[in-house]
Structure formats: structure tokens, C-alpha cells
Structure 1
Amino acid sequence: MKLTAKQQKFADYYIELGNAAEAARKAGYSKRTARSIGQENLTKPDVKEYISKRLEELANERVADQQEVLEFLTRLVRREESDQVVVTLKKPTSVMLQNKDGKSYSKFAYEDVDDVVDVKTKNSDAIKAADILSRLQGMGNNANNTLTENQSRKVSAEADIMEAKAKLITDADSQDRTVIVDDVPEDD
């Protein structure tokens, strides 16, 4: 891919402007032939390839990759990011006035002044970021699956215990012995 300096300038301007004639003029081609040369350059394989590669590079630079998104969400969760908020402050100002006798006196008045203040990430944003981060890393599904599995195991174990107690109580061999069952929950 060998481009002349003018062709490379043309391609860069074309990416920026999206207009072949204007790109050709800015690249140094004559105003009279800029339109036709601009269209001709767009048909050249080397110029087309250069434009395609540059657009891909620019897209990659502008779009956040996976690691960048994870790091940003982590900073939100840790409340390391700040937002800028406009607040209106009441600023006291001294105003000079004159009474009807011509004597000057000062009076305080308040004027509204807008100021930009950096504030930490809101808790709701941090919680939402934590939720997104956990889903992206698969923690949300695993946590739910683990909880469900543990609840299922507990229910199954409780059912086994109840069956064993019922069998112990109703077993024919146990008629001549006394069974004390104190762990059976009473139904209210």
C-alpha cells in the first residue's frame, strides 16, 4: 500500500470531512480538478484500503474494550469516579445606597452564583455498577445457583430427617421402648 503524500492527506481529510472534493482541495489538489480527482482517488485500491484501515483504527480507539469497561465499573463500585454538578450559591454582596438625606449606606444583598462541584458517585449508581459487574463476571448467576442448590439440599435433608423420625415412631419393633422426639417443630 504505497500512497503519495497528497493521497494520504486526501484520505485523512476524506475521513474527517466525508466529502471527496473538499478533501482533495485541502490535500493540495487544484480547485478546478478537485472534484474529479477526489472521486478518482476513492476508486484507487490503495486509497480505499488505507481509508478502511484508518476507519477501523479510529473505531478501535473510540470504542471501549472489555478491560476498560470492567475497570470503569470497578471505579464506580469503589466510588472513585466523580460527577460534576451545578449548584446555585447565594453570594452576599454589599450594595451602596443613598437615603433621602443624601447619606450613603451599604446594604447586603444576595446574588445567585452558579458553581460546578465535583461529587462522588451516588450510591444508586455504585449499586447498579456492582450489579452489572457481577453479571458480566458471572457472579450473579453463580450466586443464585449456589443459593438455590443450598436451599434444595436443606429441604431434602429436612425431608430425610422427618421420614426417619416418622419411621422410628411407627416402627413395629419400637413398641416396647419409649422414643422422645424433641426436635419435631410444632405446627401452630
Structure 2
Amino acid sequence: MGMTEKQKRFADEYLIDLNGTRAYKVAYPSVKKDQVAATAAGRLLRNVEVKIYIDEQLEKIHNEKTADAQEVLEYLTAVMRNEQTEEVVVVEGIGDGYSEARTMEKDTSIKDRVKAAELLGKRYSLFTDKMELATGDIVLKIGEWDDDG
């Protein structure tokens, strides 16, 4: 059957701030009382078609605004490789005690590049701290050195 235009308008308005009362009053302007709008909005939010539409839209918003693991790894790699720049504000003296602010592109700092490399290394388990592997009576300590020889 599909949603009516007013139901779709309600759902779209609801997605703005998740306020059912406000959304209902926008979609159905003849309703003036908040309590009536709140009750009707609650009923509409339980409507299967409206609920599916809202859930689909929320999923789209989530997917568009949330970085996935691949995007994070690509960003960290770009930072580590100094392929990212950042815009910074610099103040320059122009004479007679006057100065002027301007923006300029700056390479990623060594500190930030090392941090990106560290995060990538952790992701790929490249670093190990003290680990103990126990098999029966044998205990191997990885990451510790025996000074006796």
C-alpha cells in the first residue's frame, strides 16, 4: 500500500531531531495540541511502513557519516606516509608593529606520523609486550631476556 505523503513528511521531519510531537505538528498542521500530536506520533512510529522507512533512513545516515575500518586504516596509512596536510594559521609581521594572519598548508608532524604508525602496528599485532605461552610444564616468556647467558 505504501505510505501517504503526510506519513512520509512526518517520518522525514522526525529524522531531523527525533521529536515525534514536533514532526507530527509539521506534517499535520491542523493539530495544535502537543498531547494530541504526541499520541498520534507514537501511533505513527509503530506503523510498520513508517518504522521501516525511518530505520532505512537512519541506516543510510549512519553509513554516510560513520567511518568503516577500511577508511580508518587508509587514513592512518596516509598520515603515516605524510600524504595528509593540515591547514594552520600563521601570523606574520608586516612592519611598524602590524601583523597579518594567513593560512598555510603544513605537513603532518613526525609525532602524528609515529602515532599513526603505532596504531597501525597495534592493528596488525606487530608489537608484542611480555607474553607467556604455557604448554604443560614448559613456560616460554617472550619479550624478556636472560642475562645469565
Normalising by the smaller structure, the TM-score range is 0.7 to 0.9
Structure 1 residue runs of 5 or longer lacking an equivalent are 93-108, 160-188
Aligned with 2:102 (options 115, 118, 137): 115
Aligned equivalents of 1:119, 1:24: Cα separation in 2: 49
Cα-Cα RMSD: 3.0
TM-score normalised over the length of structure 1: 0.60
Which residue number in structure 2 is paired with residue 76 of structure 1? 79
Which residue number in structure 2 is paired with residue 30 of structure 1? 29
Q: Between Structure 1 and Structure 2, which shows a larger proportion of helix residues?
A: 1
Structure 1 residue 16 and structure 2 residue 16: aligned? yes
Q: Give 1:39 shift.
A: 3.5
Which residue number in structure 2 is paired with residue 60 of structure 1? 63
Do the aligned residues in 1 keep the contact of 2:77 with 2:116 (CA within 8 Å)?
yes
TM-score normalised over the length of structure 2: 0.73
Structure 1 residue 132 and structure 2 residue 131: aligned? no
Do the aligned residues in 1 keep the contact of 2:84 with 2:107 (CA within 8 Å)?
yes
Superposition map of 1:136-151 within 5 A: 136-141=123-128
Residue-pair matches, total:
135
Which residue number in structure 1 is paired with residue 135 of structure 2? none
Identity of aligned residues (%): 31
Q: Give 1:52 shift.
A: 2.0
Aligned equivalents of 2:68, 2:47: Cα separation in 1: 32
Q: Any idea what the Cα deviations from partners look like across 1:147-181, whole Å, max 9, x if unmatched?
A: x87x98xx8xxx7xxxxxxxxxxxxxxxxxxxxxx
Aligned equivalents of 2:26, 2:113: Cα separation in 1: 47
Q: SS of the counterpart of 1:140?
A: coil
Structure 2 residue runs of 5 or longer lacking an equivalent are 132-140
Do the aligned residues in 1 keep the contact of 2:21 with 2:41 (CA within 8 Å)?
yes
